[in-house]
Amino acid sequence: MTNALYLVTAVATAPWWSRKTRGGWPERFGRIEPVASKDSDARPRVMLHTVSVGETNAIRALVPLLTPHARVIVTATTDTGLARARELYGEQCEVRRYPLDATFAVRRFLDAVQPDVVGLAELELWPNFVAACRSRGIPVAVINGRISARSFGGYRKLRPLLKRSFASLSAVAAQDEAYAGRFAALGVPADRVSVAGSMKWDSAPDPATGGVSDRANALADAMGIDRDRPLLVAGSTGPGEEALIREATPDGVQLLCAPRKPERFDEAAAAMPGCVRRSSESRGSGDVFLLDTLGELGAAYELADAVVVGRSFGPVDGSVQGSDPMEPAALGKPVLTGPAHANFATVVSALQAAGALRVVARESLGAAIADLFGNGEERASMARAALECVAEHRGSSARHASMLLRLAQARTPG
């Protein structure tokens, strides 16, 4: 029945998905390069499935904990997630594309990978895949588990279709108690649900011990950012936020905005007339900068005296609910974010409770930024609190590694 529903859905949504460019269609149908025979490596096989770039980044600390004890296969769904997985893990382990949830595609995929345990990052629960693993005796666990309130409502409506899939999970390592309760409410036996924290704390960068990195200094030099003057970095901004943050930035403070999506780069530039664009490869002389390239936001955060985390100043009941504040916090930066941050509520709450982050309303953003840049002692206090909070929450990856290895070894004794 599931295959029939997928077919009907695919036909109905064809006008939408057919406009998107996607590669790897043979792989999506399970035709992947087989992982080497188990005769050549007797270690248990741990498959870690991520969806896109965010989940792929989140397992950075987990993979090296597993590789001494297991053969690790990382899978991803999207083209960008797969590219990131190959970049991060291609030399440490096998990387493959995750198949569509059609029975024949899943069967081919599992024949090629032959995992002893599967870890699904955050959730990504597909009924045919879980059923196929169940029939082969392969334990499936959710790692770094989270279900937002919005998603929980959707899953409850589909509970008759998904109840068996949730009940089949061998373990769920949830990020917090609220998420754990939602997994149990959807049918995962309570004794299989635990709270392990978020692995993103472990994958957050360590602050540079020798000051700002060469990469960050090179970015400042290339764009003309004055290292002797204060800099506000607005990361992962969404529609309308560039203009908002520019208007809220005090005189004398430099501003660098980094939109979340590349397709918004020109829109963001139009909202900040006269800005220096990174893509122009020319050194500027103004106070407003646009990071319209990929892979350099971390370097920009290193340069910041304070950070505004974007996609958080829209409606609190909207579809976009925040961006991750963990990276700037891990670099010891005081952070401001807006009230629409439900997708990162756990991290925001932890940083806010520690005194490392402030949640500010749209209309209060200018006053909050001015207050930070007018009070060096407050910025320093928030920076210390951020570093301490991140350090306190590290360790989730080790708990996840122990769980996955226990499940894998139970299936492959000796």
pLDDT tens, position by position, 156-191: 998 888 999 999 999 999 999 999 999 999 999 999
Identical fold at 20-203+395-411 and 214-393? yes
Given a cut of 70, is residue 7 above it in pLDDT?
Answer: no
Residue 16: pLDDT band (50, 70, 90) is very low
Interatomic CA distance for residues 221 and 227, integer angstroms = 9
Question: CA angle, corner 402, sides to 396 and 408, nearest 5?
Answer: 135
For the chain, counts of helices (H) and of strands (E): 21, 14
Q: In this predicted structure, what is the pLDDT of residue 42?
A: 82
How many CB atoms are closer than 10 A to CB 272?
Answer: 19
pLDDT tens digits, residue range 330-361?
A: 999 999 999 999 989 989 999 999 999 999 99
Please give the structure tokens belonging to residue 411.
Answer: 């299936």
Mean pLDDT of 136-144: 97
pLDDT tens digits, residue range 98-123?
A: 999 999 999 999 999 999 999 999 98
Mean pLDDT of 12-38: 71
- φ, ψ dihedrals at 25, nearest 5°: -65, -40
Cα pseudo-dihedral 171, 174, 178, 182, rounded to 10: -40
How many CB atoms are closer than 10 A to CB 295?
Answer: 8
Please give the structure tokens belonging to residue 114.
Answer: 């032959």
Q: Where are the alpha helices (DSSP H) in 69-169?
A: 79-89, 103-113, 127-136, 149-157, 159-168
Q: In this predicted structure, what is the pLDDT of residue 306?
A: 98
Residue 255: closest CA among 281, 239, 235, 270: 235
Given a cut of 70, is residue 90 above it in pLDDT?
Answer: yes
Given a cut of 50, is residue 11 above it in pLDDT?
Answer: no
Given a cut of 90, is residue 39 above it in pLDDT?
Answer: no
Average pLDDT over the chain reads 91
Please give the structure tokens belonging to residue 170.
Answer: 């061998």
Residue pointed to by tokens 């220096």: 276
Please give the structure tokens belonging to residue 292.
Answer: 């319209």
Residue pointed to by tokens 């909207």: 318
Catalytic: which of 27, 33, 55, 378? 55
Q: In this predicted structure, what is the pLDDT of residue 24?
A: 82
Q: In this predicted structure, what is the pLDDT of residue 18?
A: 45
Please give the structure tokens belonging to residue 97.
Answer: 């594309």
Residue 88: pLDDT band (50, 70, 90) is very high
Question: Any residues with CB less than 8 A from the CB of 90 and at least 6 apart, and which?
Answer: none
Strand partners, 171: 141
Residue pointed to by tokens 């439900």: 342
Q: In this predicted structure, what is the pLDDT of residue 395?
A: 96
Please give the structure tokens belonging to residue 299.
Answer: 């370097």
DSSP per-residue codes, 170-224: SEEEESSHHHHHHHHHTT--GGGEEE---THHHHSPPPPTTSS-HHHHHHHHHHT
Q: Distance between the two ends of the chain, CA-based, in angstroms?
A: 39
Q: Is 95 within 8 Å of 63 (Cβ atoms)?
A: no
Does the annotation mark 55 as catalytic? yes
Q: Is 127 within 8 Å of 162 (Cβ atoms)?
A: yes
**By mean pLDDT, which of 1-15, 214-228, 377-391 is the weakest?**
1-15
- φ, ψ dihedrals at 402, nearest 5°: -60, -40
Q: In this predicted structure, what is the pLDDT of residue 210?
A: 59
Where in the chain are the domains?
Answer: 20-203+395-411, 214-393
CATH node for 20-203+395-411: 3.40.50.11720
Residue 176: closest CA among 145, 142, 203: 145
Q: In this predicted structure, what is the pLDDT of residue 161?
A: 87
Pairing of strands 140-145, 254-259: unpaired
How many CB atoms are closer than 10 A to CB 203?
Answer: 23
pLDDT-above-70 percentage for the chain:
93
Superfamily covering domain 214-393 = Glycogen Phosphorylase B; (3.40.50.2000)
Q: Is the dihedral of CA 185, 403, 347, 243 positive or negative?
A: negative
Given a cut of 50, is residue 205 above it in pLDDT?
Answer: yes
Q: In this predicted structure, what is the pLDDT of residue 123?
A: 87
Residue 148: pLDDT band (50, 70, 90) is confident
- State the DSSP H helix or E strand holding residue 256, giving kind and residue range, or none if neither: strand 254-259
Q: In this predicted structure, what is the pLDDT of residue 12?
A: 42
